[in-house]
Structure 1
Amino acid sequence: MDKVVATAAEAVADVWDGASFAVGGFGLSGVPTVLVRALYETGVRRISVVSNNCGVDGAGLGVLLAAGRIARVTASYIGENKEFARQYLGGELEVELVPQGTLAERLRAGGCGIPAFFTPAGVGTAVAEGGLPWRYAADGSVAVASPAKEVRAFDGTDYVMERGITTDFALVRAARGDRHGNLVFNRSARNFNPLAAMAGRIAVAEVEELVEPGELGPDEIHLPGVFVQRVLPLTPEQAADKQVEKRTVRG
């Protein structure tokens, strides 16, 4: 099955207001920037996003955030995105902060059809006991707090139950991909991308290099095409346009 779409606009043409998205990337590494920009161009609003973080000011998911298009974020940290922090603390944005490893496993579990699992991460903290601020009120009080989660002992050790995550769409970026949707990621740019694609009911992958079926060896494929519904080949210019979150120099 040829899953290639001609344009980014076509790849996200059927999104709707209030839809949920799992988005790959870590900081600005492996972020599906072309698809995020296309999503912005649709004018979609009130979306929910599941991603490790929400980009940075003016880049990645930060573009949608600054435009007020995101209603809820499930992430592992706010990072250095000042607009993210401002909206969260100002009560404009609902934020569920999740331990990073737990977030990765929740995406993987959702993609594998596992509704919930138990983990020791967060036991004895507000992650398990509830009370984490999900949304603030305008006066700084907590308007919505996280609920308590089930804790169960296995072999004398307590574990907290976490739910698997599934979303309406997934947006990811890969270094190479074929027309069947098989994907290969480049080093640390793999990060949350395979997990996000697994969790999305409709996974869209922008690929820096499109190859024909059979060119990718079975052992080098990081994510099989069964998890991917659409493939967007990038132009050489788009593939080369990669931002650096923090530039450093050596004296």
Structure 2
Amino acid sequence: MSLKIEHLVGGYGQVPVLKDVTFDVEPGELVGLIGLNGAGKSTTINHVIGLLRPFSGSISLDGMTIKNNEEQYKQSIAYVPETPILYDELTLREHLELTMTAYGLDKKKAWERGKELLKTFRLDNKLDWFPAKFSKGMKQKVMICCAFLTDPKLLIVDEPFYGLDPLAVHELIRLINRAKRHKTAVLMSTHVLDTAERYCDRFVLLTNGRVKASGTLKDLRKQASDANASLDDIYLKMARDGADD
């Protein structure tokens, strides 16, 4: 399922943060959304997941818009937020069961996937724990388990590496790659550019609510007129240029 964002203008209240943003994410592709703080990454994500409505422009999954197909649209998406959001009164087991219910999953099959995910992130012996006992990294792992439990058509991950230990980062990347093989479209916002450079298929660089550049690393190097530049080099140059716009 492909994500298409076309001429998106949006933001909070009456103030546009995004100004004519256009890009897409194809099935089986990992696209890195990068930019300085305040560039519009989180605002873009909030529009895609339906927390904000566009002032103008459109967002669609294979032609399905949130406006006309809200329930089906949202159930096609899984989201891992930058800051874990858990319910203090629910155990880990109950968080997984809540996810299964919200997405209408077959519980037997979902628990098979859930047990595999819990074992991967070393949470399989913590099913009856409450969030108060979890570290930030453990809370992030719970969010990851809930997201991958749904077998989404579009996966959105926002700064997923903060708080994760190196083994968990490796496992998350492995899961993302497996999702790509199953034709899941993946949009990832991150400041960890060396990891993004290794694993993303394409990049979208936002500055001041606009798409400053997009494409493969080769495309970005061409736009930056530097055939050997790293993603970090390109990011810093274009971000600085964007600050002067």
What TM-score results when the alignment is normalised by the length of structure 1?
0.32
More helix by share: 2
Instruction: Output the TM-score relative to the length of structure 2.
Output: 0.33
